[in-house]
């Protein structure tokens, strides 16, 4: 059976009334029910309340059941008091009566506690799910300028450990407070037994409160430092895992271990300081209620001796105070959780409060029936708003529909920048970029990027199968379509030799493949989407010349009827173009065919000579350039099985 091939784009106009239909896969996960309140003047907890309120039904049920279970259990000491007075001392009521009541209350309290904790944990994980989705959805909307300056380890830390800190406090703090509130119920029972002794028993509680406030104020800055330094450790680990080849190639393992050791020591200092504060304050918070037990034994014993209080009352008071110790022991943990959650929330809000700089206008229109007419008009651009030197200055370029143009220039001339501006990775500072007469800022990002396919000079592959990588932009593509795109990119032959063919799972970032293989898969990924505008940003730099010639032969077919912008260094790549544009001093300095520029522009010949010299030097020093694809003659290389 003859393998399918990709057809070049038709030059026939599309039918009128055609609407933009995204070909990407729609999200199938349940969206968060609420989001973070954008009002920055509110406290961190009030900003997060909408997320908690979205799950209020099951959460309130958990709290009510928890309180009900505690109310049932807190009656047991009172029953014990009556049992001693009525059954043991006076013999007026059978002891079994109280025994069955205590057993029944214990069982009912246990059932309520079980259901309460089940609902509580379900709420906790629902809130964590919502927070993770809120942050990730926000990250997907952020502009490239944001990722240019933010470390990935910082983002990973905030999306994991910081979210967990906030989730734990939001769900478990109310539960702990409910358990502490049982002190009120216990106090009411104490009052019913003896008013003076009840106030004596609770005399230490104001001191517990003031100690807790002091503990909270002391721990907040330390908690913030700990979370920040944990993110620094995550950054170092992330960079070393992703850059392991560079680390090992320079034998820099010890250097990186020292860097990690320094970051870990800074975290250690934070944890030790945190432990020191807890060691100072937690024993006070936990043991002050026990002073109440001493006072109850002292004054209660005096009252029993003088006949104003029964022995059962003393036992009941002791049971209530012992029952109150657990909540107050958790109070110290609650304060610690609160300070860590506040620090984590501040770090999360730093991300959420930052807005993308490249967004759709409210009245943005979809780009449909794209013919591929491109015009750069007086474009000024710099990667940072305060940069004094522009990357592009008064840049003008027009590319007609179906035309193939090569951008040539020295390193740093702005060639890749032109490619990034075309599909609004960044917005221009001045001037405009138009496609089919529409300013790209007036178009929806989804439709713009669906019509402008980009193959970057550093192709990124995901840790999934080769087929899934090629079908990334069109998940519904059949295997025949994937194979056709791979053939067009010159990748089908080496993919067929992989252990599992198109089902072979590539390593992280595709490092089990050579640089040239990754580039060919990236080209296939873009060709499968079949965009009317194609941008090749030095997309064959790691491919052997012989293999490159085969790819070019296929690309010439694919470029028919398609507007193509090529960022080029090699003469072989320039040969694909109808026209060559030379960049220098942040603008176009020459425009024409390859032969015309060679004849009229000495700078053009100089740039080509420098590029050829650099490539020749690389080959002399290292053989093929790093990652160079030499047509895969080694059968055991790049993740393939021996044939």
- The band of 397, judged by pLDDT with boundaries at 50, 70 and 90, is very high
- Grade residue 329 by pLDDT with cuts at 50, 70 and 90: low
Share of the chain above pLDDT 70, in %: 85
- DSSP-assigned beta bridge partners for residue 310: none
Q: How many CB atoms lie within 10 A of CB 428?
A: 21
Outline which parts of the chain fall under CATH 1.20.1560.10: 44-352
Q: Is the pLDDT of residue 602 over 80?
A: yes
Q: In the prediction, which pLDDT does 635 show?
A: 35
Residue ranges matching CATH 3.40.50.300 in the chain? 374-622
The yes-or-no verdict on residue 421 having pLDDT over 70 is yes
Dihedral pair phi/psi, residue 308, rounded to 5°: -95, 0
Indicate the helix (H) or strand (E) that contains 439: strand 438-439
Calpha distance 346→194 (Å, rounded): 47
* pLDDT above 70 for 305: yes
pLDDT of residue 376: 94
CA–CA separation, 501 vs 315, rounded Å? 77
Question: Looking at residue 503, what DSSP letter applies?
Answer: G
Average pLDDT over every residue of 299-316: 79
How far apart CA 446 and CA 420 sit, in angstroms, is 15
Q: What is the CATH number of domain 374-622?
A: 3.40.50.300
**pTM for this one?**
0.70
Determine the average pLDDT of the residues in 546-573: 77
* Tens-digit pLDDT profile for residues 337-348: 888 888 888 888
Q: Which residues pair with 397 in a beta bridge?
A: 376
Contacts of 475 (CB under 8 A, 6+ apart): 24, 25, 468
Strand partners, 409: 583
- Between 47 and 456, the more confident residue is 47
Helix (H) or strand (E) holding 316: helix 311-352
Average pLDDT (261-267) is 86
Q: What is the pLDDT of residues 49-78, one digit of tens each?
A: 999 889 989 999 999 998 888 888 888 877
Asked if 166 and 378 touch (Cβ cutoff 8 Å), the reply is no
Question: How would you list the strands of the sheet with 392-399, edge to edge?
Answer: 392-399, 374-381, 430-435, 438-439
Q: CB neighbours of 79 closer than 8 A, spacing ≥ 6?
A: 98, 101, 102, 105
Average pLDDT over residues 373-381: 92
Class of domain 44-352: mainly alpha
Helix (H) or strand (E) holding 536: strand 533-537
pLDDT digits (tens, 9 = 90+) for 354-364: 888 888 888 88
Q: Which of 156-165, 316-325, 387-396 has the highest mean pLDDT?
A: 387-396
CA torsion 484→489→494→498, rounded to 10°? -60
What pLDDT sits at residue 434? 93
For residues 278 and 400, which has the higher predicted lDDT (pLDDT)? 400
- How far apart (Å, rounded) are the C-alpha atoms in residues 452 and 554? 19
Q: Is the pLDDT of residue 398 over 90?
A: yes
């Amino acid at each position: 059976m003859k393998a399918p091939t990709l057809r070049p784009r038709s030059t026939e106009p599309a039918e009128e009334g055609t609407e933009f239909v995204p070909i990407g896969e729609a999200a199938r996960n349940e969206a968060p029910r609420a989001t973070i309140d954008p009002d920055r003047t509110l406290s961190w907890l009030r900003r997060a309340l909408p997320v908690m309120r979205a799950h209020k039904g099951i959460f309130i049920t958990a709290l009510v059941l928890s309180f009900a279970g505690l109310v049932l259990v807190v009656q047991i000491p009172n029953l014990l008091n009556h049992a001693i007075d009525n059954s043991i001392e006076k013999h007026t009521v059978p002891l079994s009566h109280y025994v069955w009541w205590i057993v029944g209350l214990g069982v009912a309290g246990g059932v309520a506690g079980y259901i309460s904790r089940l609902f509580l944990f379900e709420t906790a994980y629902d809130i964590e799910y919502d927070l993770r989705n809120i942050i990730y959805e926000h990250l997907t909307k952020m502009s490239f300028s944001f990722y240019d300056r933010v470390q990935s380890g910082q983002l990973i830390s905030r999306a994991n450990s910081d979210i967990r800190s906030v989730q734990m406090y939001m769900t478990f703090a109310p539960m702990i407070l409910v358990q502490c509130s049982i002190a009120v119920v216990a106090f009411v029972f104490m009052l019913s037994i003896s008013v003076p002794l009840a106030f004596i028993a609770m005399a230490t509680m104001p001191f517990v409160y003031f100690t807790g406030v002091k503990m909270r104020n002391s721990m907040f800055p330390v908690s913030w430092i700990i979370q920040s330094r944990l993110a620094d450790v995550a950054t170092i680990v992330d960079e070393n895992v992703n850059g392991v080849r560079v680390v090992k190639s320079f034998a820099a393992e010890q250097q990186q271990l020292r860097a990690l050791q320094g970051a870990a020591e800074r975290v250690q200092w934070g944890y030790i300081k945190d432990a020191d504060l807890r060691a100072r304050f937690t024993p006070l918070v936990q043991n002050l209620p026990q002073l109440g037990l001493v006072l109850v034994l002292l004054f209660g014993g005096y009252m029993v001796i003088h006949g104003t209080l029964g022995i059962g009352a003393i036992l009941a008071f002791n049971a209530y105070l012992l029952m109150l110790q657990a909540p107050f022991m958790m109070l110290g943990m609650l304060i610690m959780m609160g300070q860590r959650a506040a620090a984590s929330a501040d770090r999360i809000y730093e991300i959420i409060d930052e807005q993308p700089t490249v967004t759709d206008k409210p009245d943005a229109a979809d780009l449909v029936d794209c013919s591929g007419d491109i015009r750069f008009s007086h474009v000024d651009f710099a990667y940072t708003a305060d940069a004094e030197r522009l990357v592009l200055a008064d840049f003008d370029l027009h590319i007609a529909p179906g035309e193939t143009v090569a951008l040539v220039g020295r390193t740093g001339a702005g060639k890749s920048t032109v490619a990034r501006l075309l599909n609004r990775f960044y917005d221009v500072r001045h001037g405009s970029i138009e496609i089919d007469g529409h300013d790209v800022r007036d178009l929806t990002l989804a439709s713009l990027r669906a019509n402008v396919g980009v193959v970057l000079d550093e192709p990124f592959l995901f840790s999934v199968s080769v087929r899934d990588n090629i079908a990334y932009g069109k998940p519904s593509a059949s295997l025949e379509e994937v194979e056709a795109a791979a053939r067009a990119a010159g990748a089908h032959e080496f993919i067929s030799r992989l252990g599992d063919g198109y089902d072979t799972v590539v390593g992280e970032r595709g490092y089990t493949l050579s640089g040239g293989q990754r580039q060919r898969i990236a080209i296939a990924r873009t060709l499968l989407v079949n965009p009317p505008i194609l941008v090749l940003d030095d997309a064959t730099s790691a491919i052997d010349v012989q293999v490159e010639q085969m790819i070019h032969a296929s690309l010439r077919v694919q470029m028919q009827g398609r507007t193509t912008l090529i960022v080029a260094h090699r003469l072989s790549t320039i040969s694909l173009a109808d026209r060559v544009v030379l960049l220098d001093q942040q603008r176009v300095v020459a425009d024409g065919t390859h032969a015309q520029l060679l004849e009229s522009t000495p700078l053009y010949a100089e740039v080509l000579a420098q590029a050829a010299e650099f490539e020749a030097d690389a080959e002399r020093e290292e053989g093929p350039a790093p990652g160079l694809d030499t047509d895969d003659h080694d059968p055991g290389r790049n993740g393939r099985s021996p044939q």
